[in-house]
Chains A and B, each alone.
Chain A
């Protein structure tokens, strides 16, 4: 597994790139044994419908295009689609909206993703001038930059370190199953974070990794976005 990751990362660097595509980031995650939400790639509406049925409604539809920088802002992401009919409508609206924002955008296709619900966490890594590789854990989601409820530790980390990090999260109460949200399996979370720590240790070339959010669902943790930057 780790040698395969290394080969992929080396190839990307050889191409002179530093930012992994979403698909590449997902491949790395998969090789590392980190759980992801279900996702399929579709070229057109019919394929979208087929894939959506394979995954099972409700689903998320996202546009895939390297020209579309701000996916959400341009209407390129739609959550909670619950039927074939709704998917067809959303598909057409999305194409129109994205074309309005980016008239010359080349659309490569669509991703159909499993809709997951639960507590949104952030797990990430960075490279500090003074301390080298660091790992972050906190409350994730779109407000992460506002609340900054994230703690850091130096890589490598132990289970005790992760448990201390959890203790430090201001909003740690949401991990206990707040208002019907699933309770976060702390041992699973520890293993997930330790796993990330190991990947970074083995692949120092990864400068930053951003998993936001990692959703703690009823069935366990699922990363639904991954951004990996080399340096």
Chain B
């Protein structure tokens, strides 16, 4: 049912325009200018013969081929006519980006419900209206007006288009890649439960994330969420938590946010990762996107910055982490790679002069040590002793690669704009970076929580 939205062979862009001043332009450009997209595109605009080098048609009915997906960008008044034409044309799936329906008033709600009824009766399914659109980065399709993120294993469902975009931008900036993205808008037909059920079965999706304001059928949502968490980590950020938030959510997507208490309970009971802030949300997604699950909660922390390790240790209790005890064998193993001044205790403060090669050796020893479940290198990029800004990161990732990426690595790198070269390597190596001790501690917590879920 949802699959067809994400894998169309032919796409009609209704309201396509080359004029950057028009709203439909961003969606048109995102689709047309993506060279990896193999689907055939048909711009629909009665006022043009050609749009961005493609032949334009005055109506979907004029397109000489069958259409799998129609994206509707025209003003709300014209939408019902276009939907009728799509039904006549036997278009398989429709995305209505246009706003001005159930989120505005009862009349708008009636119109969107009528469209949905006509369409579903004819076997046509609708996403929207009032949404930013969808993406399938695996096939190079960006049918939205959000920028195209890199390809990856995360799929996101979001009830807020703009906040979903904000998360996507933040994730892109932090190096997290996407498989699929969808904003469902007013959910007149396809709802959140339908979408996440698809994510559950979609092979390319390995991590599911949801920005949630309300659910339509709580019990059904809970049952499906429970199934998904059995096979894929699922991270949820819930908006509309306080009554003030609930009010904002209501005027926002046209529905009342359900009571946070019961929804929160359902999310936890279903085994999903519940996040309270955008920062936690992105951190948890990053953790699951890059890391295998740990075997336990014992972390091995090594650093060139004692203070940062202290900050990390502050979160041990709150997040249920444990510092691994270094065995005599381990101490022996790392002895050649630390200066005599270094106390061989966890966290291991290797002191500011420690180099990339030493970080490689210690990381490797930790990956090989049966008493350590999660490896956390913590680095303030040195600007002295002729060290390269990226040598520590390169070292620890090399150790991760050499030991088969079997344990989670949560590298903390804190250096403002010196991060740029590190981010580049992280993208090339398909490895994560965490920006603060708290982030890495939270990442460890969510991985451990999920590990515990499968323990008995």
Distance to closest chain B CB from A21 (angstroms): 29
Q: Does B228 contact A (CB under 8 A)?
A: no
Roughly how many angstroms separate A161 CA and B456 CA in the complex, as a whole number?
13
- The yes or no answer to A192 lying at the interface (CB within 8 A) is no
Known: A131-B266, A161-B269. A152 touches B261 (CB 8 A): yes
**Interchain CA distance A164-B261 in the complex, whole Å:** 15
Identity of the chain B residue whose Cβ is nearest the Cβ of A132 in the assembled complex: B219
Check B325 for interface membership: any CB of A closer than 8 A.
no
Point out the residues of chain B lying under 8 angstroms from A168, CB to CB. 268
> Nearest-CB distance from A129 to chain B (Å)?
7
Q: How far is the CA of A130 from the CA of B266 in the complex (A)?
A: 10
A132 near B218: Cβ-Cβ < 8 Å:
yes
**Is the C-beta of B227 less than 8 angstroms from some C-beta in chain A?**
no
Are B263 and A130 in touch, CB under 8 angstroms? yes
Q: Mark A144-156, 1 if CB is under 8 A from B, else 0.
A: 0000000111100
A154 to B456, CA, bound (A): 21
In this assembly, does B42 line the interface, its C-beta being within 8 Å of a C-beta of chain A?
no
Pick the residue among B262, B268, B456 that contacts A131 (CB under 8 A).
B262
Chain A 133-169, CB within 8 Å of chain B: the 1/0 string?
Answer: 0100000000000000001111001001100100010
Q: A128-B218, A154-B222 are in contact. Are A134 and B268 (CB under 8 A)?
A: no
Q: Which residues of chain A in 150-193 are interfacial with respect to chain B, using CB atoms and an 8 Å cutoff?
A: 151-154, 157, 160-161, 164, 168
> Which of B217, B258, B269 lies in contact with A154, CB distance below 8 A?
B269
Looking at chain B's contact residues, the main secondary structure is: helix
A222→B102 CA distance, assembly (Å): 52
Residues of B within 8 A of A134 (CB): 262, 265
B259 within 8 A of A: yes
Interface contact B261-A130, CB-CB below 8 Å: no
Q: Which of A151, A154, A164 contacts B266, CB < 8 Å?
A: A154
**For residue B265, which residues in chain A have a CB less than 8 angstroms away from its CB?**
131, 134, 151-154
Q: How far is the CA of A151 from the CA of B269 in the complex (A)?
A: 11
Residue of B219, B269, B456 near A153 (CB, 8 A) is: B269
Between A130, A157, A168, the greatest number of chain B beta carbons within 10 A of the residue's beta carbon is seen for A130
Distance between Cα atoms of A160 and B217 in the complex (Å) = 25
Given the complex of chains A and B, what is the CA–CA distance between A161 and B271 in angstroms? 10
- Docked pose: A129 CA to B257 CA in angstroms: 12
Cα–Cα, bound, A130→B222 (Å): 10
Q: Which residues of B from 250 to 267 have beta carbons under 8 Å from A? A: 258-259, 261-266
Q: Give the shortest distance, in Å, between B233 (CB) and chain A (any CB).
A: 17
Q: Is B248 an interface residue (CB 8 A)?
A: no
Q: Name the contact of B218 in the complex, choosing from A131, A153, A164 (C-beta under 8 A).
A: A131
**Which chain B residue shows the least CB distance to A151?**
B265
Cα of A151 to Cα of B259 in the assembled complex, Å: 14
Q: How far is the CB of B238 from chain A (nearest CB, A)?
A: 13
**B324 contacts partner chain A, Cβ-Cβ < 8 Å:** no
B259 touches A128 (CB 8 A): yes
Q: Which residue of A lies closest to B214 (CB)?
A: A130
Decide if A130 touches B259 in the complex (CB within 8 Å): yes
Q: Can you list, as one digit per residue, whether each of B131-162 has a CB less than 8 Å from chain A (1) or not (0)? A: 00000000000000000000000000000000
Q: Shortest CB–CB separation between residue B449 and chain A, in angstroms?
A: 10
Instruction: Determine the distance from Cα of A212 to Cα of B88 in the docked complex, in whole angstroms.
Output: 62
Given contacts A130-B258, A130-B259, A130-B263, contact A164 B268 (CB under 8 A): yes
* A–B Cβ pairs within 8 angstroms, 11 of them: A129-B258, A130-B259, A130-B263, A131-B218, A132-B218, A132-B219, A152-B265, A153-B268, A153-B269, A154-B262, A168-B268
Given A131-B263, A134-B265, 14 new contacts (CB under 8 A): A130-B219, A130-B258, A130-B263, A131-B222, A131-B262, A131-B266, A152-B261, A153-B269, A154-B219, A154-B222, A154-B266, A154-B269, A157-B269, A161-B269
Closest 5 CB pairs of A and B: A130-B218, A152-B265, A131-B218, A128-B262, A130-B258
